[in-house]
Amino acid sequence: MDSIYSISLFYLIEVPKGHLGVRPAVIEDPMICLAYFSAVLAGLKHFHETLPGWIYGW
């Protein structure tokens, strides 16, 4: 028996807003979010070290 596995990366939901309306929203799958943050953090030190001295944080 063949099985097809589906992995949802994003979930579409409707979020309530004022005056009894709703708006669409997108939520990331937690594992995809973790993978994204891991990829960003892997290169963050190199990115920070190459910034010019005149750039300051918020």
Q: Is residue 3 part of a domain?
A: no
Q: Is residue 4 part of a domain?
A: no
Residues of the domain holding 24: 10-49
Could you read off the pLDDT of 1-58 as tens digits, one per residue?
455 555 668 888 898 988 889 999 988 888 888 988 999 999 888 888 888 888 877 6
Q: DSSP characters for the chain?
A: --------SEEEEEEEETTTEEEEEEEE-HHHHHHHHHHHHHHHHHHHHTS-TT----
Number of domains in the chain: 1
pTM to 2 decimal places: 0.50
CA 45 to chain centre: 20
Kindly state whether residue 1 falls inside one of the protein's structural domains.
no
